[in-house]
Amino acid sequence: VRGAHTLELRMQRASANALELARFLEAHPKVRRVHYPGLPSHPDHETAKRVLSNGFGAMLSFELEPSRAAVNALLHHLEHVRMALSLGGAHTTLSHPATSSHRFLPPAEREALGLHDGFLRMSVGIENLEDLRTDLERGLGAV
């Protein structure tokens, strides 16, 4: 119950961090695609601007080359962002659907859903934005 008092502030910070990280990832040469409604490149961006008046949320996803080697290289070089099975919280976490939530689907079915081996989901937290950006830059540099 105590956490409810700061929920609005935490969501504002997480949403602002997510937008900036989405912009950073979209501009990075090792990132093939970013899925975040706050980006003009998102197919539902105009709708999101109308209905999401308090920010675009803390969840985003992005795609590296479709290989586990690329994902592993990224993950092994991160210090602040952690791999987790559950998403949401004050700390930024990544989820890899091909090896977690959708691991039991045959590869062809995952591919049909757009969940190739290079697809990652990120739940952005309230940490210092520059720490997160630096962490991702280091990780992506290893890909």
Instruction: Report how far apart, in Å, the C-alpha atoms of 87 and of each of 28, 65, 76, 112, 142 are.
Output: 23, 23, 19, 23, 24
What residue type is assigned to position 120 of the chain? L
Note the pLDDT tens digit of each residue in 17-63: 999 999 999 999 999 999 999 999 999 999 999 999 889 999 999 99
- Mean pLDDT of the residues in the chain: 93
Confidence band, pLDDT 50/70/90 cuts, at residue 127? very high
Measured in degrees and rounded to the nearest 5, phi and psi for residue 86 equal -105, 150
Mean pLDDT of all residues in 8-23? 95
What whole-number distance in Å separates Cα of residue 137 and Cα of residue 93?
Answer: 15
Contact 71, 135 (CB under 8 A): no
When computed from its CA atoms, the radius of gyration of the chain, rounded to whole angstroms, is: 15
What whole-number distance in Å separates Cα of residue 71 and Cα of residue 32?
Answer: 13
Can you give the pLDDT at residue 81? Answer: 94
Please report the DSSP string for 13-56 in residue order: HHHHHHHHHHHHHHH-TT--EEE-TTSTTSTTHHHHHHH-TT-S
